[in-house]
A and B are shown apart, each in its own frame.
Chain A
């Protein structure tokens, strides 16, 4: 017996050591690269071999090459201009080889598809991490198993998507190389110090993902399970670093740094990566990916729910859809604030860029974006109200839906009122000017902030309703708590409306600061309101079970709509972000001289975005189908109540 135990312990030790060694090897590329980065990578970004050969032919051989000092366009520091200047392109086959089709659209589609899949495979492991952890700490064995199975289902879907991401990445690079060789060559020369780190990170990511997936059953108990869960943290760290590196490319294209006015690399790769917009882009993309990933998984669950053959399946996929939607929406709520920060940094970087985005050429696209945001929030609320229907006691909240609808609709109407109105000249004359005296006031930021905050606060209130669906607080101070909670929300709404109106009577720089009390009110509702509600529900009386699977099919269509809206909005925002460079490949450094250096019409842009969305959904349906092919069913009895508590948003239940 003792020998058996010691053999088991030895096995465990070996497994842990092996895993540790594997982790170290996977992270090796980062450690190896660090000294090169720290040393400034002197060779990096230097002139390409052909330029060097030309210099040598000109007779500089043997002489000491005089390195010019350049001034960083953003950081204003000086450094040796070791890189080649940005190519001055012309509309020729040499710089822009082409098929009989618009190269920009080809690149656009390749890029967007890669981004969709990239976002999905970066987001899903974060969900897996959260869900696996929830299962790990859950005291209820049945629930723990359900969570574990759910996390496994998630990662299985992402594994197929991972291969597609890699394939699409290859297609993207080939598209760059064949259609934009000069631009791609320049960008590669600038990012040369980190190009291989980027590639090696993929190796690390794949390795970790495979061990994580294939080791699931082997590492299901005790310490090994904890190690398995920790591996998801490593996986996500690698994925996040990968995304940050990819973001540095687009950050550089929008707000270049680390180069001089001619675009010559000045030897400091950190400056090239850490551009003015890098940080806000990173935060915005993490949140966006999470919301998008949640939406896609929720759509998967909805698809499986609608095609389910029995009550058990319906119950399982109803639950899965709810969890995915909650996770997605938890990241959707802070997304507008991250977007606000990004726009603020854009304005701070270049006023023209900000105006082109929000007041000028691309302003109408922002109205479409506002509409999509509105759809997301309205759909989320609608789903939650439908979900109340499967809870005993949920109907007591449904009679108030009309009031929530009113707040949401008014908030959305204000939020999407365009500043630049589309109208016929006759309407323009009848209106007496470009701005409408009543609606014009909704077209500016002060009112729009009020609109979106009202929508978010209402969504939070819907979540609180949902948490209470089948439960009644039984703490001693429940009455006081309810009064306090209602008063809190009412005051937050009044504060929001008051600040939105007050914003018209004060200078713009003070007005910008007013968004702080508005956001503070909303975030207080989110954190304080939810926490208070949870505290009140810590002792609660259950009115009845949650009837998983007995939700109206309308709710599942709402989930599919939510996911489609996420996808469309992502495509739209990517287009806006890219278009704002106008006729520059790299803003103010490398000019786009291709025949396609113009901004598309809104209609054309919308059609390409729709095509991308459609293409993505067709291919992801294939991924779903693959996932369903080998699916292990994890049925949940339809009548089984969720133990302990009603599901909580974001944190699972």
Chain B
């Protein structure tokens, strides 16, 4: 259902709003049918809403949601529907009635349903058991730790950096002092796409010939990025570079709120310096082919490229208040 667009930047709220809207429509339709004396039985209303939610999650949201998450959502929505249909005694009785009718076999039709259920349910369970024992050629699931805890210190080019306190030397204001608020005010804007605040202002456009200080260092970081990193992490820093799909998993998407946006700058410095090979034991199964960039870049170049990544994505590095 990709014709109805999920708008970047608004997707999470869009999903909730769409679900809320459709539930509201159901409620209104049900109300209208009830008024007309054709109300949907509670049992079918509950089952229908649950099936709708599963179909919505499977076919409306793209890229596809992994099964584990759909299973969680399915269970929670199932519990919610149970709470709704059994919230009051009257509703619970109404919900149970078709099930009890079938179990009691109150008519020929219900007896037929009961017989069918007695055949279908064991067969379905047997089928499930059989298929779960069939050999699978899929790679096994790996619970990968995406953000393993960094060490307290890291040594790069002979210098020891204490990750909890060290600061990016290029994140400075016009006086050359470390100033995150100053630099935060100069990153691109996150709106419908990512845009510089003022392309004609050397304070905001790193490629302006008059750009100085922080914004100039961003440009230098960008040059390093496009010489070394964009092949995998992509022109838009979204992990969709030319070589991205040669790897499994594909490279990190920096534009996602769950990657660099929630990490300290020093964490990124450490990961860039040490690469996949430098992941700690906690980072099992060490599924990262990123080279240890300390073998190719200087300390200054690493700091600058990290700063560029934050600037370009419009995110702020995490800090401690």
Contact = CB atoms under 8 A, between A and B. Distances in A.
A506 B315 CA distance: 8
Nearest to A374: B76
Interface stretch (B78-86, B110-118, B199-207): B78-86
Contacts of B318: 507-509
> Interface SS of chain B: helix, strand, loop or mixed?
loop
A425 B12 contact: no
Interface stretch (B14-22, B122-130, B170-178, B297-305): B14-22
A416 B262 contact: no
A351 B150 contact: yes
Contacts of A440: 256-258
A441 B253 CA distance: 13
Nearest to A353: B149
A444 B262 contact: yes
B249 A437 contact: no
A401 B63 contact: no
In the complex, which of the residues B69, B138, B190, B264 has the most CB atoms of chain A within 10 Å of its own CB atom? B69
Interface size class of B (residues with CB under 8 A): 35 or more
B253 A438 contact: no
B68 interface: yes
A359 B12 contact: no
B256 A435 contact: yes
A352 B151 contact: yes
Given A420-B144, A425-B248, A352 B20 contact: no
B77 interface: yes
Contacts of A406: 20, 23, 80
Interface residues of A, number: 79
Nearest to A409: B80
Interface in A432-446: 432-445
Nearest to A447: B12
B65 A436 contact: yes
Contacts of B27: 402
Given A389-B89, A552-B89, A422 B66 contact: yes
A598 to B, nearest CB: 9
B184 A443 contact: no
B87 A433 contact: no
A65 interface: no
Interface string A248-284: 0000000000000000000000000000000000000
B210 interface: no
Residue from the set A421, A429, A444, A506 with the largest chain B CB neighbour count within 10 Å: A421
B258 A413 contact: no
B164 interface: yes
A363 B147 CA distance: 10
A408 B294 CA distance: 48
A398 B88 contact: yes
Given A351-B264, A401-B87, A402-B84, A436 B20 contact: no
A433 B249 CA distance: 7
B316 A443 contact: no
Given A401-B88, A409-B77, A509-B321, A431 B69 contact: no
A513 B321 CA distance: 9
B134 interface: no
A522 B41 CA distance: 37
Interface in A477-512: 501, 504-509, 512
Interface in A37-96: none
A18 B87 CA distance: 55
Contacts of B262: 359, 444-445, 508
Contacts of B61: 438-439
Interface in B1-53: 6, 8, 11-13, 15-16, 19-20, 23, 27
Given A389-B88, A444-B262, A507-B184, A427 B66 contact: yes
A408 B282 contact: no
17 contacts: A355-B149, A355-B267, A359-B262, A385-B88, A389-B88, A414-B16, A416-B76, A427-B64, A432-B239, A433-B239, A434-B253, A435-B257, A435-B258, A437-B63, A438-B15, A439-B12, A439-B69
Given A355-B147, A431-B65, A508-B318, 17 more contacts: A398-B87, A409-B77, A416-B76, A421-B69, A422-B143, A423-B67, A423-B141, A428-B250, A429-B248, A433-B249, A434-B144, A436-B69, A437-B11, A438-B12, A506-B316, A508-B317, A509-B318
Q: Which 10 residue pairs across A and B have the least CB separation, nearest first?
A: A507-B316, A423-B66, A409-B80, A401-B87, A352-B149, A508-B318, A398-B88, A435-B256, A441-B12, A355-B149
Interface of A: 347-348, 350-356, 359-361, 363-364, 371, 374, 378, 381-382, 385-386, 388-389, 395, 398, 401-402, 405-406, 408-410, 412-414, 416-445, 447, 501, 504-509, 512-513, 552, 554, 582, 602
